[in-house]
Structure 1
Amino acid sequence: MVNQQQLWDEDAAAQYDAPGEGMFSPEVLGPTVEVLSELAGGGPAVEFAIGTGRVAIPLAAAGVQVSGIELSHAMISRLREKVGEGDIPVVQGDMTEASAGTDFSLAYLVFNTISNLLTQDEQVRCFQNAGRHLAPGGRFVIELWVPQLRSLPPGHGGTVEVHEPGYLLVDTYDVLHQHVISHHVRFGPELSDGRDARIERTPHRYVWPSELDLMARLAGFELESRWADWDRSEFDAESRSHVSVYRRSVG
């Protein structure tokens, strides 16, 4: 059993933010905030696994009233260094059951984070919890990667996903249980702790889009839109990720 509180500890929180780079870059955050702001439709939003506020802070700055749920005490502490509780209230707890209120127009869960829930049952309960937060007709948005099983060589259980100076990402798969472990290998003189290399591992349960849609239906949602990215580009068989918008049933 993975202890997520230990996984997302003080060290992880301290290393999480990378202003202006990667998922913190303007070309990533700009379209994300624009789409979420539009989908909120002037109503309040709740972010599941709000983390250090990567999306919530610029979304709030765009005029959306944002609340959050976050399991990690360390991530919340990092968020509190940037904004106060009065600006973005956060409930500490598990996104499958913790409550930040009701009658939200929008709930969202970005950057593959639903895969941090390591069983199908937990992922279904996440959808159900989103439904409890939303007003009738409210939307639940999930950003998630598409499993790259086609890239697995026959007889091999892993793929190299990223290789660049100072960083290597290797994913190893357990296809029987739909589990993948991401091995983040950082190396070179830029390491601040003096080591030659550092390895961090994060476990996930991967989900096919069709399975995600069934989870949504079980929780009273219908798929409204699906894009390959926040720029609303077309999702097709070659897409490596998707942004899926689900709408809670009115009846």
Structure 2
Amino acid sequence: MENYGPDTYGELNADVYDEWHAAHDPGDAVRGLLDLIGQSPAGPVLELAVGTGRVTIPLAEAGVDVRGIDASEAMVARMRAKPGGDRIPVAIGDMADVDPGTDDRFGLVFIVFSTFFFLTEQEDQVRCFANVAERLLPGGRFVLECPMPDVARYARNQTLETFEVGIDRVRLVAVRHDPARQRLDGHHVLISGNGVRLAPAFMRYAWPAELDLMARLAGLERVHRWGGWRGEAFRGEGNYVTVYEKPATA
């Protein structure tokens, strides 16, 4: 963890992020968010950890007034190089601060994929919820997509998986699991003719009930929990979507 900060993942993964995650189509997330935005108070929308704009750019193309925040200048530079990406306001900063550089209040704030768990301390996750609640309009919503923790996959609290095998390259993911701290410390390892490349990804997972408690502490109420962006039943596996709401009287 030495020298690992909020921007480390993005700075070391920006040039390969879209390539390595190309199989994960963000289309369902975009469509699901558009539905939720239509049900939320009128106001701008904020994405935490905007990254390379895989979700934000399609939302902007659909006419949403969307803003972003990300700790990594390298990731945001990738977004701004894409068509339409340079027109989206993005602040550089820690997503737990939920500070887009304006005093705006938002009708909806969201974070997708597994990115919320990149806040590696519980106190930072709690702080993120509290700051989101502060920036939401009454009746506004906080939408999180998170993976259900699958601790059974870590034999002796570690795992090594092969994600790609080619003629001239192999990509592995090595992870150590700390169950007491709910921590996953991992590396993408790319072995190729150019040598060995390491891309760290350190995370702190949280259980659904723990997220609900963070929301209650922030004054938010859970209104939906689905097994995916299409409103599937939540079965405690895979990625799931939770929608929290700020009371309209707040």
Query: Using the alignment, how far apart are the partners of 2:31 and 2:55 within structure 1?
Result: 11
Distance 1:224 1:37, change over 3 A: same
Provide TM-score, normalisation by structure 2.
Answer: 0.86
Please tell me whether the aligned partners of residues 43 and 64 of structure 1 are also in contact (alpha carbons under 8 angstroms): no
Deviation at 1:219, TM superposition (A): 0.6
Note the residue ranges of structure 1 that are not aligned, 5 or more in a row: none
Deviation at 1:225, TM superposition (A): 0.8
Matches within 5 A, 1:71-86: 71-82=71-82, 83=84
Cross-structure match for 2:61: 61
Query: Using the alignment, how far apart are the partners of 1:161 and 1:127 within structure 2?
Result: 32
Please tell me whether the aligned partners of residues 43 and 105 of structure 2 are also in contact (alpha carbons under 8 angstroms): no
Cross-structure match for 2:239: 241
Query: 1:178 is matched with which residue: 179, 182, 185?
Result: 182
Query: Using the alignment, how far apart are the partners of 2:37 and 2:60 within structure 1?
Result: 11
Matches within 5 A, 1:184-195: 184-188=188-192, 194-195=194-195
Deviation at 1:182, TM superposition (A): 2.4
Provide TM-score, normalisation by structure 1.
Answer: 0.86
The DSSP-based 3-state class of the residue aligned with 1:22 is coil
Distance 1:246 1:98, change over 3 A: closer
Distance 1:159 1:58, change over 3 A: same
Match status 1:29 vs 2:31 = no
Cross-structure match for 2:226: 227
Cross-structure match for 2:35: 38
Cross-structure match for 2:217: 218
Query: Using the alignment, how far apart are the partners of 2:53 and 2:153 within structure 1?
Result: 33
Cross-structure match for 1:152: 154
Please tell me whether the aligned partners of residues 95 and 129 of structure 1 are also in contact (alpha carbons under 8 angstroms): no
Deviation at 1:43, TM superposition (A): 4.0
Distance 1:212 1:187, change over 3 A: same
Please tell me whether the aligned partners of residues 139 and 246 of structure 1 are also in contact (alpha carbons under 8 angstroms): yes
Q: How many residues align?
A: 237
Q: Aligned-pair RMSD on alpha carbons?
A: 2.1
Query: Using the alignment, how far apart are the partners of 1:234 and 1:78 within structure 2?
Result: 35
Query: Using the alignment, how far apart are the partners of 1:215 and 1:32 within structure 2?
Result: 23
Query: Using the alignment, how far apart are the partners of 1:233 and 1:89 within structure 2?
Result: 32
Query: Using the alignment, how far apart are the partners of 1:217 and 1:20 within structure 2?
Result: 33
Query: Using the alignment, how far apart are the partners of 1:176 and 1:157 within structure 2?
Result: 11
Distance 1:7 1:223, change over 3 A: same
The DSSP-based 3-state class of the residue aligned with 2:19 is coil
Amino acid at match of 1:29: P
Deviation at 1:150, TM superposition (A): 2.4
Matches within 5 A, 1:110-121: 110-121=112-123
Query: 2:129 is matched with which residue: 127, 130, 142?
Result: 127
Where does structure 1 differ by over 3 angstroms across 4 or more consecutive aligned residues? 160-164
Cross-structure match for 1:3: 5
Distance 1:61 1:118, change over 3 A: same
Please tell me whether the aligned partners of residues 171 and 182 of structure 1 are also in contact (alpha carbons under 8 angstroms): yes
Note the residue ranges of structure 2 that are not aligned, 5 or more in a row: none
Query: Using the alignment, how far apart are the partners of 1:80 and 1:53 within structure 2?
Result: 8
Query: Using the alignment, how far apart are the partners of 1:37 and 1:98 within structure 2?
Result: 21
Deviation at 1:206, TM superposition (A): 0.8
Cross-structure match for 1:16: 17
Please tell me whether the aligned partners of residues 52 and 76 of structure 1 are also in contact (alpha carbons under 8 angstroms): yes
Query: Using the alignment, how far apart are the partners of 1:20 and 1:113 within structure 2?
Result: 13
The DSSP-based 3-state class of the residue aligned with 1:168 is strand
Deviation at 1:147, TM superposition (A): 1.3
Please tell me whether the aligned partners of residues 6 and 94 of structure 2 are also in contact (alpha carbons under 8 angstroms): no
Query: Using the alignment, how far apart are the partners of 1:61 and 1:72 within structure 2?
Result: 23
The DSSP-based 3-state class of the residue aligned with 2:190 is strand
* Cα-to-partner distance string for 1:74-123 (whole Å, 9 max, x where unaligned): 122222222365x3111111112242243311100111111111111100
